């Protein structure tokens, strides 16, 4: 079963990122999530939505912000897929062992295209730029 799913995902990949975009579910981001979009839009992928709270209740801050080297800044890490596949940053856990692996593109690349790097719906963000209604 796992092999079968992998094959489907890999062939989706072979068809190009655009297919993944069309096939993915509704864009999602909740209060406090970090949207990471330094490269995604430009590469034709949906922005990454990192559910910070979901991770914070499971791991100590230190795991990510000291041991894995994540900077305390939305978009401040110049993450790319090579590093992630190489087991760095998100890839330290999203390797099919601690958490599901990198082949699940859409679980990370789930943001609404065009969403800038930000802490989603933070007060600071709202003060800086008025946001349009989230749900159509
Ligand atoms: C565990 C989370 C995660 C998964 C799964 C994941 N990505 Fe990413 N990806 C990221 C992050 C984080 C970035 C950096 C986002 C940014 O700054 O725009 C990124 C960036 C990218 C980029 C732009 C930078 C680069 O390396 O070229 C592409 C293209 C990309 N991902 C494709 C994919 C594809 C295709 C898959 C599935 C095979 C995938 N990603 C799966 C987290 C993930
Ligand atoms: C699973 C990893 C992980 C854990 C655990 C974690 N963080 Fe983060 N944190 C991140 C990532 C990833 C980002 C976004 C970095 C980026 O966009 O490149 C971030 C961003 C931040 C930011 C910056 C947000 C902004 O306004 O720019 C702060 C502050 C922060 N974390 C604090 C914490 C604290 C405090 C804890 C513990 C209670 C914690 N983090 C636990 C991964 C983690
Ligand atoms: C310290 C380990 C760790 C790191 C680092 C980490 N994750 Fe996760 N992540 C997890 C675990 C564990 C889960 C839960 C997996 C499960 O439910 O099977 C998870 C779940 C998720 C989910 C799904 C949340 C949900 O609602 O089910 C997303 C999206 C995600 N991670 C994205 C990321 C991205 C993007 C990064 C890097 C910016 C990242 N993660 C870094 C451990 C990590």
Nearest residue to 96 (alpha-carbon basis) of 40, 87, 130: 87
Task: Provide CATH code, domain 25-128.
Answer: 3.90.10.10
- Flag whether the pTM goes above 0.75: yes
How close is the Cα of 90 to the center of ligand 1, in Å? 10
Mean pLDDT of 95-118: 96
Nearest protein Cα to ligand 3, atom 3: 93
Question: Where does the pLDDT of residue 131 fall: very low under 50, low under 70, confident under 90, or very high at 90 and above?
Answer: low
Residue appearing with tokens 């943001």: 111
Percent of the chain that is helix, strand, coil (3-state, to 5): 40, 5, 55
DSSP 9: H
Residue appearing with tokens 């692996």: 101
The answer for residues whose C-beta is within 8 angstroms of residue 23's C-beta and 6 or more apart is 12, 106
Distances (CA, A) of 16 to 13, 71, 111: 5, 31, 18
Mean pLDDT of 8-15: 48
Domain boundaries, the chain: 25-128
- Residue 68 CA: nearest ligand 2 atom is 2
Nearest protein Cα to ligand 3, atom 41: 90
Predicted confidence (pLDDT) at residue 46 exceeds the cutoff of 60: yes
């Amino acid at each position: 079963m796992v092999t079968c799913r992998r094959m489907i995902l890999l062939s989706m990949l072979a068809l190009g990122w655009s297919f993944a975009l069309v096939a993915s579910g509704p864009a999602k981001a909740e209060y406090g999530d970090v949207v990471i979009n330094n490269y995604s839009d430009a590469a034709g992928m949906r922005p990454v939505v990192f559910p910070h709270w979901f991770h914070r209740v499971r791991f100590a801050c230190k795991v990510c912000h000291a041991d894995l080297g994540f900077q305390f800044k939305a978009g401040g890490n110049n993450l790319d897929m090579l590093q992630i596949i190489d087991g760095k940053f998100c890839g330290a856990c999203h390797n099919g062992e601690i958490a599901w692996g990198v082949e699940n593109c859409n679980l990370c690349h789930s943001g609404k295209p065009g969403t800038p790097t930000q802490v989603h719906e933070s007060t600071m963000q709202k003060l800086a730029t008025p946001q349009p209604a989230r749900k159509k």
